[in-house]
Amino acid sequence: MQKHESTIVDIARALNLSIATVSRALNDHPKISEATKKKVREQANALEYRRNTLASGLRGSRTNNIGLIIPRVSMYFHATAITAIQNKLHQHGYNLIIGQTNDSFEMEKELASAMFSSRVDGLMVASTFYTTDFSHFDVFTRNDIPLVFFDRVPVDFYPAQVIRGDDYKGGFMATSHLAKAGCKTIAHLSGPLSCNLYKDRYAGYVDALRKHRLPFRKEWVFFNELTPENALRIARQLFAAPPYPDGIFASNDTTAIILLEHARSLGIVIPEQLKIVGYSNDPRTAIISPAITTVEQFPDKVGERAVDALLELMKGRGRRKGEVQRPIITAVELVCRASA
């Protein structure tokens, strides 16, 4: 057996055909006779031939690889979205290259460059919390490579397709739910407003307060990154001394869980004395007791819509150059549980 990976040249030699014919046969070109195609396919099998996608990508300027830049694959929302994305892309014959930023802006820049280097056919991005400058993606737009942002998207205008959940509505529903349940003093744990998610949820919170004629008090709103550490620190601060809030809208579930556990440890009874709403419908919220009311984002739908949008862009590539697409906003849903 030959020692090197077999190529179409090997097949051509074995069958005494030209490499052009072999290439066409393998690509099911209409002008190649069925007999030849069959022979070629059989020989290819016998030699365990696999197309070298580097060579074919280089020549044909098409790699069938899609890049995905994402903060952390292990977060519930993203893990679920990835699954949907990968499945759908695979159906259409694409592979997925995943890069993880760990919410580092520098890493995001590096990854964008690396993705371009490997000539992905398209790129999907959920940016870091701190990305406000998106110019590292210019190389994609300039070279007309389809680019979609999903979930974490540019706050200011950037010429690329955007798919995101309806965070304003989510924030509004969550806060309204607390208000309707009788809460008078609703605190909000937001994240940095540089991120569209928190900005929109916060806006929903503010408007819901106004609608229900509840006071907005800035000492009950927090804008730190929603790490467990920060959550615990703020929980301590909130419950250091009365008056306590009687409702909390936390902009993510991890934070909601920590708040709940901390309040419980202080003997505060939930939902009687304190109501809590989280965001994302992380599996843990269903299991903790009392189970936490939260906002379902349908990460799989978001992922699928993002892929749809990307495929659409790839189809129309070249034509609609520079055309501005309007953002796609996906539905959210309040999941009512015992905590509120």
Q: Near a copy of itself by CB under 8 A, which window of 36-44, 107-115, 146-154, 231-239?
A: 107-115
Residue placing its CB nearer to DNA in the complex, 26 or 338: 26
Residue 101: CB atoms within 10 Å: 24
Inter-axis angle of helices 167-180 and 196-211, nearest 10: 40
**Token digits for 45?**
């099998």
Among 9, 54, 266, 331, contact with a copy of itself (rule: CB under 8 A): 54
Decide: is 33 part of the binding site for a copy of itself (CB under 8 A). no
Smallest separation, CB 119 to DNA (Å): 9
Phi-psi region of 322 (alpha: psi -120 to 50; beta: other; left: phi over 0): left
Q: Quote the least distance from Cβ 3 to a copy of itself, whole Å.
A: 9
What is the rounded distance in angstroms from the CA atom of residue 179 to the CA atom of residue 306?
Answer: 34
Nearer to a copy of itself, 212 or 284 (CB): 284
Task: Indicate which of DNA, a copy of itself, none lies near residue 26 (CB less than 5 to 8 Å, by partner kind).
Answer: DNA
* Collapsed DSSP state (helix, strand, coil) of residue 100: strand
Which residues, in sequence order, are CB contacts of 155 under 8 Å at separation 6+?
132, 194, 195, 196, 199
E strand or H helix that includes residue 46: helix 34-46
Site for DNA in 5-64 (CB under 7 A): 5, 7-9, 16-21, 23-24, 26-27, 29, 31-33, 35-36, 49, 51-52, 55-56, 58-61
Hey, what amino acid is at 285?
T
CB of 327 to DNA, least distance (A): 33
Class of residue 278 by CB neighbours under 10 A (exposed 0-12, middle 13-18, buried 19+): buried
Q: Which is nearer to DNA, 36 or 230 (CB)?
A: 36
SS3 of 189, please?
strand
The residue type of 130 is Y
Which of 99, 152, 108 has its CA nearest to residue 126? 152
Please report whether residue 105 would count as binding a copy of itself according to CB under 8 A.
no
Which of residues 287 and 331 has its CB atom nearest to a copy of itself in the complex? 287
Binding site for DNA (CB under 7 A): 4-5, 7-9, 16-21, 23-24, 26-27, 29, 31-33, 35-36, 49, 51-52, 55-56, 58-61
Binding site for a copy of itself (CB under 8 A): 5, 48, 50-55, 57-58, 63, 65, 72-74, 76, 79-80, 82-83, 86-87, 90, 95-100, 102, 107, 113-114, 116-119, 139, 143, 257, 283-284, 287-289
